[in-house]
Structure 1
Amino acid sequence: MTEPSETSSLFRHREFLLLWSSQSMSVFGAQLTYVAIPLTAVMILHATPMQSGILGALTTLPFLLFGLGVGAMLDRRARRPVLIGADVVRALALAWIPLAHVLDILTITQLFVVAFVVGTMSVFFDLAYQSYLPTLIPRARLMQANSKMQVSESMAEVAGPGAAGALIGLLGAPLVIAADAVSYLLSAVAVLKLPADATPTADQGQGKAPLSFWASIREGISVVRRHSVLRWCTTAAVLANLFESALLSVFFLFLVRDIGFGSTEIGLVVGFGGAGAVIGALLVERVTRLLGAGPALILAMLLPGVGCLLLGSVDADSSWALGLAATANFIALIGLPVFNVTVISFRQVVTPDHLLGRVNATVRTFAWSALSLGSLLGGVLGTSLGLRGTVLVSACGGFLAALLLLFSPLRALRRLEDAETVATDSEADRKPGASAEEKPEPVGEAR
């Protein structure tokens, strides 16, 4: 493979360009499906509110059900075939919807099955590409690579729903889903051109048998628990997701009922937030280079709290209120890509290749569980404290996550590579009396 220089663009690195293309097509296609499948259910199959809720839950449920197991599986086999297989299965599942619609045999149950299959394959794809990327480029370029991936995802989240709405109005929801199926096939073709990767292997030591499947899952959880950087990053992510999800559960109700915004004003507020996410993704490298990786994480966690606090101060429907709400959403979302890119890069740097699938799965499972709990928390807070009170409590949650990181070892980390020193020192300190043979292998060992 081509080794990029420290100053050359990663887009001149063939392997990264192909993986970036695959991931970009996948995330943009997912945004089309995110809008098109629910509209198919509502406009064509006349789904009830309960059926719509079930359909939405089936897209995220697979991560909670299978995330840890998929992570363990990915540490036992090559990741490239998994990426290809996930894309092909998603394409075939989605292609069934327009076909069944043309044949006039489409049912809501079939939509349920397709949503669950696509969600399950997304678990495989997301974890596999995060584990595959460090095998393609030097670790010194991981921050840059992850920031480019995040830019694509943020831009897809901004442009995707609007493009889906326009295409659905022109072609109809089933044909838009067919276009998404094609995007997944194109993604699979891009991955097919990437170099094959070897099955990750771990040195089991003389006389030691390989770990069982369940023991492998427990090992991944143990790595996150024992490793100082991974533990603090995961704790902050769980806390941030918990309160972010609580906010999102009442966000639109607050804009409509407490402030009095209509659909046009809400669109502007959401659009400014999306622009903040894109700009944050573009600025990741510059911010981390200027402040250092650890301080950048703390700032990234602080900004959502500031944004929520500002949003909670918006009082009435007016031009001033609209500008303040849009600014608040911009501030709240600009730091999230910085956090996401940095913590993913930390994980990829400090985790050996044979543990990367399980570590990614462990972190993602905890983080997504917090999203589910946060939605319930938002409902409870909205009922007991009111909508504005929920927004302000969410601001406190953002400040709490930043405060935790401020008192963690992360505050002193300037570069990604510094996290390896923290890992080695913490592991050595954990058993100070152990001999060299008795000490556990440091998580930060070179892959």
Structure 2
Amino acid sequence: MWRDAAFRRLWIGQTASQLGEQASLVVLPLFAVLTLGAGAGQLGALRAVGQAPVLLLSLFVGVWVDRWRTRTLMVLADAGRALALGAAAVAGLLGGLGLPALLVVAFAVGALSVFFDVAYQTSLVRLVRRDQLVRGNSALEGSRSAAQIGGPALGGVLVSVLSAPIAAAAGAVCFVLSSLSILSMRRTGRHESVPSRSERPPRVGRRIHEGLRFVAGDTSLRTVCLASAAFQFFFAAVMTVCLLFLPRDLRLSGAAIGSALAATGPGALLGSLLAARLPGRFGHGAVLVSAAALGDGVFLFVPALHGSSTVTVPALVAVNVVFGTCSQLVNVTVMAVRQTVTPDGMQGRVAATINCAGMGTTPLGSLLGGFLADVWGTRVSLLVTAAGMLLSPALMALSPLARLGRTLPAPPPVASA
């Protein structure tokens, strides 16, 4: 598979794109806090605006991706993200970037990220043989984990050593490199197979409704949906408070914050390895509930941190390694459950429904985090929102998901167009 030039260029482009995306998730909030002096409520609004496109666009983007070449969509998406971050960098260097303009940049980057993420996952199916999908997905997810390690660290270091505008410019460069690499796929002579378009547009609303109805009617999928929504909601609130707590209360530099957050990357790699063994040994339900409880519960230690960076940074690294390991273990196990209990003809719509319901709660969570930090202060707010994350494993523990054994049930038949 690595001998395939088209796949190599997709992998390079996707890696550069993920590096830019992960860096921007740290750079834009730090830009607001350190350069523009944004308060808790303003930071919550910034994060909410950047996350809102997941809720607003995901289901529809899936339909559009099925009708267009993924290479074209990925190139345009990353070119747009490069333009948005580049404009923010120039305006920041000239002293002309205010919070309203930064909100526009955050929304544009978030919207284009939805297009890129859906397109690159679909592109692999069109690019490689069915028997190569596992290895292809492994390679792409490996690069995503590597970006989780390098992206936040790169963004934090650049903000700390140089400036937030320079860090934004570095993110733009990553997106430019991604666009050029993916654009060069056409030189390989490989032609992407695109589903044929009917003269009459598909009934999008009806097909979306079928996916929603199927998820709501299946106990396991319904629980996954609710648990994902609870986790993403409170995790978004936790991260909003953390981005205030770490630089202001603990007085950590941008580089230290980036390094601590990057520790989720090695944890995610470890979690991927454990996910290949633990469910088959202890049962899918036991792994799901225990990993979710441990990974979410570890954040309860963060509000107790005090002292110098020589103490707090290693503690934060340990927290993020545990969280990264457990969250990846949950993600992979949940994906296996979802794919197994879902008929082939419903896979895309079920994935989109769960993703929309889960990630769609993040804007509200970010707003809650900013509001609570304003009212209660960062330390108390962090404790409350971290405790709220435990609602996710509690929902799974009280559902049939907790009783899933070493083997998973077969999908039910479904009559769907």
* Same fold per superposition (TM over 0.5): yes
1:198 matched residue in structure 2: 193
Partner Cα distance (2:241, 2:97) in 1: 33
Q: Once the two structures are superposed, what CA deviation does each residue of 1:179-233 show, in whole Å capped at 9, x if it has no partner?
A: 333322321233231744333469x9xxxx8642322332332343345654443
| Pick aligned residue for 1:83 from 42, 50, 74 | 74
- The alpha-carbon distance between structure 1 residues 53 and 276, as it changes in their structure 2 partners (threshold 3 A), is closer
* Native 8 Å contact 1:294 1:412 kept in 2: yes
Query: Displacement of 1:82 after TM fit?
Result: 1.7
Letter matched to residue 292 of structure 2 = M
Distance (whole Å) between structure 1 residues aligned to residue 393 and residue 353 of structure 2: 24
Partner Cα separation in structure 2 for residue 101 and residue 248 of structure 1: 24
Report if aligned partners of 1:72, 1:216 keep a CA contact under 8 Å in 2.
no
**1:254–1:387 CA contact under 8 A, matched in 2:** no
Q: Work out whether 1:400 is the aligned partner of 2:394.
A: yes
Structure ranking higher on relative contact order (CA contacts 8 Å, 6+ apart): 2
Question: Counterparts of 1:279-318 in structure 2 under 5 Å?
Answer: 279-292=267-280, 294-295=284-285, 296-308=287-299, 314=304
Question: Which amino acid is the alignment partner of residue 155 of structure 2?
Answer: A
Correspondence 1:189 to 2:177: no
User: What residue in structure 1 maps to residue 252 of structure 2?
Assistant: 263
Offset at residue 276 of structure 1 (A): 4.6
- Is 1:412 the counterpart of 2:405? The answer is yes
Shift, 1:127, TM fit: 1.6
Fraction of identical pairs, as percent:
31
Look up the match of 1:8: none
| Pair 161,256 (structure 1): closer, same or farther in 2 beyond 3 Å | closer
Going from structure 1 to structure 2, the CA distance change for 1:367 and 1:280 (only over 3 Å counts) comes to: same
List aligned pairs for 1:100-249, cutoff 5 A: 109-137=100-128, 142=133, 145-168=136-159, 172-192=163-183, 193=185, 195-200=190-195, 211-226=202-217, 230-249=221-240
C-alpha distance 403-143 of structure 1, shift in aligned 2 (>3 A): farther
Residue 366 of structure 1 and its aligned partner are, at CA, apart by: 0.9
| Structure 1 pair 301–402 and aligned structure 2 pair: CA distance change class (3 A) | farther
Counterpart among 365, 372, 387 of residue 356 in structure 2: 365
Return the alpha-carbon distance in structure 2 between the equivalents of residues 106 and 392 of structure 1: 33
Q: 1:19 to 1:167 in 2, by over 3 A?
A: same
Give distance in 1, aligned partners of 2:295 and 2:56.
29
Give the 3 Å change call, closer, same or farther, for CA 285–64 of structure 1 in structure 2: same
321 and 175 in structure 1: CA distance in 2 versus 1, 3 angstrom threshold: closer
Relative to 1, partners in 2 of residues 1:342 and 1:262: Cα closer, same or farther, differing over 3 Å? same
Question: 1:440 is matched with which residue?
Answer: 415
Aligned residue pairs, count: 404
Match of 1:434 in 2: none
The 5-angstrom pairing of residues 307-386 of structure 1 reads 307-308=298-299, 314=304, 327-344=318-335, 358-375=349-366, 383=376, 386=380
Q: CA RMSD in A?
A: 4.5
Counterpart residue identity of residue 252, structure 2: S
Change (3 A) 1:322 1:113: closer
Contact kept in structure 2, 1:245 and 1:375, CA below 8 Å: yes
User: Structure 2-normalised TM-score?
Assistant: 0.75
- Contact conserved, 1:243 with 1:398, CA < 8 A, in 2? no
1:390 alignment partner in structure 2: 384
Pairwise CA distance, 1:52: 5.3
1:62-81 matched pairs, under 5 angstroms: 62-81=53-72
Question: Is the 2:48–2:362 Cα contact (8 Å) retained in structure 1?
Answer: no
Is the contact made by 1:256 and 1:262 (CA closer than 8 Å) also made in structure 2?
yes
| Residue pair 1:71, 1:359 contacting (<8 A) in 2 also | no
DSSP 3-state at the match of 2:360: helix
- The answer (yes or no) to whether the contact 2:149–2:264 under 8 Å persists in 1 is no
Counterpart for residue 263 of structure 2: 275
| Kept in 2: contact 1:86–1:125 (CA 8 A) | yes
- 1:123 CA displacement: 1.0
1:8-57 deviations in whole A, cap 9, x for unaligned? xxx5565544333222211211233334445656677x465466554433
Structure 2: 5+ residue stretches without partners? none
State the alpha-carbon separation in 2 of the partners of residues 120 and 81 from structure 1. Answer: 16
Whole-angstrom CA distance in 2 between matches of 1:338 and 1:51: 33
Partner amino acid, structure 2, of 1:167: L
- Contact 2:292 2:326 (C-alpha < 8 Å) held by counterparts: yes
Question: How much does 1:168 deviate?
Answer: 4.4
Q: Which secondary structure state, in structure 2, belongs to the residue aligned with residue 412 of structure 1?
A: coil
1:235-259 per-residue CA deviation (whole Å, 9 max, x = no partner) reads: 33223223333444555777899xx
Alpha-carbon distance, 1:373 to partner: 3.7
Q: Indicate conservation of the 8 Å contact 1:60/1:119, yes or no.
A: yes
List runs of 5+ in structure 1 lacking aligned partners. Answer: 3-10, 428-438, 443-447
